[in-house]
Amino acid sequence: MTTASEQNQNPYDICTWRPISECADCSLKIRLKCRFKKEDLLHFMAMFWGFAIPAIIGVIRAGYGWWLLGWFAFAMFFFNVWESCILCSHCPYYAEKGSTLHCIANYGSVKPWKYRPGPMSRAEKAQLWIGFVILTGFPFPFLLLGRQWALAFIALWGLILFFWTLNKYTCSQCVNFSCPLNRVPKEVVDAYLQRNPTMSKAWEASGWQPELPPPHPEVKGK
% of the chain surpassing 90 pLDDT: 87
3-state SS, residue 190? helix
Number of domains into which the chain is organized: 1
Residues 122 and 112 sit within 8 Å (Cβ to Cβ): no
2-11, 78-87, 100-109, 209-218: the lowest-pLDDT one: 209-218
Residue 80 lies in a domain: yes
Q: Give the pLDDT score at 6.
A: 57
Residue 2 class from Cβ within 10 Å (0-12 exposed, 13-18 middle, 19+ buried)?
middle
Does the structure show a pLDDT above 70 at 74?
yes
How far is the C-alpha of 45 from the C-alpha of 37, rounded, in Å? 13
Residue 114 lies in a domain: yes
CA 210 to chain centre: 22
Residue 23 lies in a domain: no
24 versus 110: the higher-pLDDT residue is 110
> Which whole-number Å values give the CA distances from 197 to 13, 110, 115, 117, 173, in the listed order?
8, 26, 15, 10, 20
Q: Give the pLDDT score at 4.
A: 53
3-state SS, residue 100? strand
Residue 214 lies in a domain: no
Q: Give the pLDDT score at 34.
A: 95
% of the chain surpassing 70 pLDDT: 92
Q: What are phi and psi of 207, to 5 degrees?
A: 110, 0
DSSP 106-168: STT-B--S----SPPPHHHHHHHHHHHHHHHHTTHHHHHHTT-HHHHHHHHHHHHHHHHHIII
Residue 20 lies in a domain: no
Q: Give the pLDDT score at 217.
A: 46
Q: What is the mean pLDDT of residues 118-130?
A: 98
For 129-154, what is each residue's pLDDT tens digit?
A: 999 999 999 999 999 999 999 999 99
Confidence of residue 71 (pLDDT cuts 50, 70, 90): very high
- Containing domain of residue 189, as a range? 33-204
Residue 3 lies in a domain: no
Which residue type sits at 12? Y
Residue 106 lies in a domain: yes
| Residues contacting 124, CB < 8 A, separation 6+ | 86, 87
pTM, whole model, 2 decimals?
Answer: 0.89
